[in-house]
Amino acid sequence: MSEKLKIGISIGDVNGIGLEIILKTLADSRIYDYCMPIVYGHTMVASFYRRLTNLDELNFFVIDHPGELIGKKDHRKPNMINCWEEDVKIEPGLVNAEVGKYSFISLERATNDLLRGDIDALVTAPINKDNIQSDQFNFPGHTEYLQERDGAADSLMFLVSDTLRVGVVTGHIPLLKVPESITAEKIVAKLKLMDASLRNDFWVRKPKIAVLGLNPHASDNGLIGDEEQKVIIPAIEEARNNDMLAFGPYSADGFFANGTYLQFDAVLAMYHDQGLIPFKQIAFESGVNFTAGLNFVRTSPDHGTAYDIAGKNLASEISFREAMFTAMHIVKHRRETAELEENPLLITKLSRDRD
C-alpha cells in the first residue's frame, strides 16, 4: 500500500487499563512500520498514564482530523485527537459513573471517522458496559453499538487467535434467555457470517466449522434436553446444504479438553461463556475480539477493564497489540480480495503461480 493504514483507537474507561495498554503498544517503534495510530482521547489523560508507565518520552502529535496525516509516509509518532476540553479526574481502579461519558465521546468520534472512511480500522480499548450507558449509548457492548452504526442486519462476535477462532450465536444476554433465543435460522445466519469472514478476512479457502451443542454432552441423543435434535442438527444440515462445511453438534467440554478444536478453522458456540471461557483459557494472551459481518473493521483485546490491576503498571499489552495487527491484516485481505474480484485475470495468474 502506498499509504500506511490509519488505525483509530478509542480509549475505553479512563480508570481501567485501556490507556496503559495503548501506550505500551505505541511505545514499540515497530508499530510505525505498518500504520499511523490515532488515539481518540485527550493528551492530559495520556500524560497521566505516561508518567504511571514510565513512558514520559512517548509524545503525541496532536491533530484535529486524520486527513492531516495524508502523505506523511515517514511519520513515526503516535497521534492524538483531543475529543473534549475539560479536565478529567482519573482514579485508576475505581468504578466511576462520571467517566463513562468520556468512553462514549472517544468511541463516537472514532466511529464517525471510521464511517466516513477517514480511518481504515478501529481498535477499541475496554469499556465499562455499565457506566457508559446513556441516552446516546443504550447497548450491551461495543458489538451491538457498532452493528447499529453500520446499519448491518446482523454481526458476529468472533474471538480469534493463531490456534483457535470462536464465534457465538447469542452474545450479551442473560443465561436464562439463551435457550429461547437459539433458533435454526439464527444458527445458520451466524454460520454464514463466520464462513464469509473466514474466506474474506482470513483467507481460509474451504472453512471447516465445528458447532457446539447447548446441553451437557450435546444432550446424549435427547436424554438431556432436545435443542440439539430440534434446532441445532437441522441448522447444521441446512448449512451443509448451502455448501458450508459445518459439523457437530459437539459436547463443549470434551471438544476443547481433547484438542478436537485443532481440527477446525473455527468453532460456533451457542452462548457467550461456552465459547469465551475456553478461548480465554487457551489463547488469552494473544486473543483478539473481532466484529465480523460489518462493512468496516473493528477489533479489540479479549479482556475487560481489569480494575483490579489498573494503575499498577501490571497490564500486558500483548492482546491489544495483536488486535492492532489483526485489524491491519483484515483490511489488507479485504482490499486484496476486492481487487482480485474486480480483475479475474489476477486470480488466474495466482492459481498458475501456485501450480
- Number of H-type helices and E-type strands within the chain: 12, 12
Q: 232 near 214, Cβ under 8 Å? A: yes
Measured CA distances, 206 to 5, 95, 231, 240, 265 (Å)? 29, 45, 25, 12, 9
* Higher pLDDT, residue 187 or 219: 187
| One fold for 1-152+294-355 and 154-288 | yes
CATH fold, domain 154-288, is Isopropylmalate Dehydrogenase (3.40.718)
Res 73: pLDDT: 78
Report DSSP state, residue 176: G
Where are the chain's structural domains?
Answer: 1-152+294-355, 154-288
pLDDT per residue over 19-59, tens digit each?
999 999 999 999 999 999 999 999 999 999 999 999 999 99
Q: What is the mean pLDDT of residues 299-314?
A: 96
How many CA atoms does the CB half-sphere of 289 hold within 13 Å? 20
For the chain, what's the residue count?
Answer: 355
**Is 322 exposed, middle or buried (CB count within 10 Å of its CB: 0-12, 13-18, 19+)?**
buried
Q: How far apart are CA 5 and CA 63, in angstroms?
A: 16
pLDDT per residue over 239-258, tens digit each?
999 999 999 999 999 999 99
**What are the φ and ψ backbone dihedral angles of 242, each rounded to 5 degrees?**
-105, 25
CATH fold, domain 1-152+294-355, is Isopropylmalate Dehydrogenase (3.40.718)
